[in-house]
Structure formats: structure tokens, C-alpha cells
Amino acid sequence: METHYKEIETTSFNSDIHNISIAESFIDTVCNDLLIDEDNYGNILIAVTEAVNNAMQHGNRMDQSKLIQISAFSNSDELRFVIKDQGIGFDFNSLPDPTAPENIEKETGRGVFLMRSLADEVVFEDNGSKVTLIFSLQK
């Protein structure tokens, strides 16, 4: 397995919910450049968009003076998206189970669950203010 990653692209934007479209365009560009197939593209789009949304809402608490940075890296085996916010982080090991009966009808609380379900690997760093979503290119 190759361990060297090439940076494809990086962008930053403030924590305004309308800027989700910037993240979506970023994902589109990266996936088009790497010729990602439609099934993987759907998983990537949902997972990375959810990570950006969480960074805005929970990390930066929608403070428009705080930035979100999104970067993409790849090698022959994997595509990685790194999302950073300027928040204080969170305890990613003690999230409620969204599939538990008491949570099943709640409208929120599924973001990390979705990311973990759709990406091949999810890594939290910097107390949760940095998340790396890893997608295998060898499927």
C-alpha cells in the first residue's frame, strides 16, 4: 500500500451555511479529476458534506468569522479529505448511538454515524476539530 499522498487541492471559507455549495463544488472537482465512479462519488459527497456541515455547526458554531478548511489528497490506493474547523473540538468517542430507540426519531445526531458508514475510515484529530475521511480507490 502506497503511503505518499499528493495534495490535489485546498480551499477555505467562512462558516456560512450557504458556503456548503463551495464544499460541494470542491468535491465535484476532485472526483471529476480522479474519475471517481458514480457510486463512490455519492458516498464521498454525502460524507464530506456532512463533515463540513458538522464543522460549521458544531465546531465553529456558525460563527462567520471562523473558517473551514477542506483539503484533498490521493495516492493510487486512497482518496483523503481533511476538514478542519476553528472550534474547540468535541469528544468523538462518546457520541450517542443514533440507532438506539431513544434517538431513532430525532432529527439530528446522525452526522458522524453517516460519515463512518460511507467512508472506509474516519480519523478525528485535534480534539475533533480535524477530521480525515478516507475512501479506498481499490474497490
pLDDT of the residue at 34: 95
pLDDT of the residue at 89: 75
All structural domains of the chain = 6-136 (3.30.565.10)
Whole-number average pLDDT of the chain: 89
Cα distance between residue 113 and residue 116, in whole Å: 5
pLDDT of 100 higher than 70: no
The per-residue pLDDT for range 10-42, each reduced to its tens digit, is 999 999 999 999 999 999 999 999 999 998 999
Output the pTM of the full model. 0.87
| Residue environment code for 31-50, b if the CB has 16+ CB neighbours within 10 A, otherwise e | beeeebeeebbebbbbbbbb
